[in-house]
Structure 1
C-alpha cells in the first residue's frame, strides 16, 4: 500500500524588530512546522508528513491561483498544529488586549484548509490552537484569556515550565476518547494555552474538561468523518517514559492514522 500522506498546516513567522533588523532569513516571512509535530506523525511506518504552505494576499501567489482544495484531494489527513492565538476578529469579537490580536492571515488559511478536508471527508486533528481553530471554523467562540475571563481556573500555561506544565482532565464517560483509553475518565496532560473554547461550534461535543475548572480540553465533531481537537500537545509527550496517570499520545495518533487509512481505502 502507498504511504499515507499527512498534511500539516504551516506556522507563520512575520518579520518584526529586533529580528527583522538582524538581516538574513529573519527579514522574510517564513512558513514552518515544529520538528516534534513532524516526528510524532513520522513515528509510524508508511506515513509521510508534508507541510502545506499558506497562500496569502501579500505573497507572490493569490488564493485563486493555488486552490487549497487540491491539497485536500491529494492528501490523506490534516494536522492543525499549535502556534499564535486565533484572532478575535475570526469569531466576531474585538481583542480585549493588544497582545491578543492573533493571526488573522493564518486563521483564514487554516479555516480554508479545514473546510476543504472536511468537504473531502478526510480526517482532521487539531493540537492546541488547532483545537480552537476547529471550534471557530464551525461557528464557535473562544475565551481570549483564561486568567482574565475565568479567574478561578487552574493554571493552563506557565511559560517558564512550558511543556512541563501539567494538570488533570476529566474525560467524558462513554465518549470515544474514553473508549480509546480503556474507559479512563481521569488523566494528566500538558498545558501550554491561555485561550480556550467558550461557545461550542456547530456539531461539536466535549470529550474532556480541565479539573477542577471545567475548561474544555477536547472536542469531537458529530458529523461524518473524523475531526478531533485537543488543547494539550501529544507530540511533546511522545517517547516519554510510561507514567501511571499521563495520557499516552500513541492511541490518539493511531486512531487518526487509522481513519486516514480507512478513507484512503474507500477512495480507491
Structure 2
C-alpha cells in the first residue's frame, strides 16, 4: 500500500561527515555532509519522509529542525570517539569522529527533551548508548573473547550471523511474522548482515538489551515509555531490501522502518 505524502511522518536523518581534506579533489577538500542512499530509500519505503539533519553548529538550528520533524534516525558511519565515554583510544585509528559525536549527542538530547522517537542504526545504537551513559567495546576482536567476525572489509556485506530477539521487546513484535523460533528460551531468531567492529559494552541508563549475537555481543537496545522512545539495532536493515545484493535469504529489514514510521506518526498525533 502506498502511503500518501500527507500521512508520512518527517524523519530527520543525522548526516554522515567527510571532513575537510586538502588532498581530496571532490569539492576541493571541503567538508561534506550526506546520507547513504539506501537509508533514505528504506525510510521512504517504510512510510516516512526522510529529511537531512545537517550539523550547522548552532543549537537553535538543531532545536528548530528536530522540532519540525516527527522522529530522529541516527545513521551508521565512523567510530564513536572513546573520549565520549571516558576512555582513551586503544589505537590511534580508533579515535573516532568527535565532531560528529558532538552533533549527534546534542541531537539525541533535543529529541528526548521534545519526546521525539529515536531509531539508531549500527553506529546509531552505539552513540545512543553513550548518550545515555553507556560505554562501548572499542574493538570486538581485541576485547571480546571468542567473538565472531563482525566486520570484514573484503567480504563486507557478505558476512552474516543470527540475532536472537527478546520476544516481548518492540523488535520482537516488529519481526514476529518474519523471524523463526530459536532455542527453548523463547527468543526469535533473525539472519542479518554484520558490519561493525565496535559494540555496546556497559548499557546506558533506562536502556534494555533486546537482541544478541550468538557470541553474546549486544545487537539491539530499546527503551519504550510514554515519555521516551528509543530503539537501536547493530546491523544494517536498510541494506536488507530483498535484493540479491542485500542477501535475499536474510530477514528483511523493512519492519524496522515501517514500524518506526508508525510510531513517529502515532506519537506526533498524541502530541498534537
TM-score w.r.t. length of structure 2: 0.88
Q: Are 1:256 and 2:250 an aligned pair? A: no
Instruction: Please say which of residues 22-31 and 82-91 is displaced more in the overlay.
Output: 22-31
Aligned twin of 1:267: 271
Q: Are 1:3 and 2:5 an aligned pair? A: no
Aligned residues of 1:86 and 1:129 also touching (Cα < 8 A):
yes
Q: Give deviations 1:8-61, integer Å, cap 9, x for gaps.
A: 000010133xxx32444141011111001011111145x3211111134xxxxx
Please tell me the root mean square deviation across aligned C-alpha atoms, in Å.
Answer: 1.9
Q: Which has the higher contact order (CA 8 A, sep 6+)?
A: 2
Instruction: Please say which of residues 1-10 and 178-187 is displaced more in the overlay.
Output: 178-187
Structure 2 portions without partners, runs of 5+: 1-5, 181-187
The 3-state SS of whatever aligns with 1:21 is coil
Q: CA deviation at 1:68?
A: 1.1
Aligned twin of 1:238: 241
Q: 1:93 aligns with which of 84, 87, 108?
A: 87
Aligned twin of 1:134: 128
Count matched residues.
Answer: 256
Aligned twin of 2:49: 48
Aligned residues of 1:7 and 1:49 also touching (Cα < 8 A):
yes
Aligned residues of 1:205 and 1:222 also touching (Cα < 8 A):
no
Structure 1 portions without partners, runs of 5+: 57-62
Q: CA deviation at 1:72?
A: 1.8
TM-score w.r.t. length of structure 1: 0.89
Aligned twin of 1:59: none
The 3-state SS of whatever aligns with 2:202 is coil
C-alpha distance in 2 between matches for 1:243 and 1:12: 27
C-alpha distance in 2 between matches for 1:78 and 1:6: 6
Aligned twin of 2:184: none
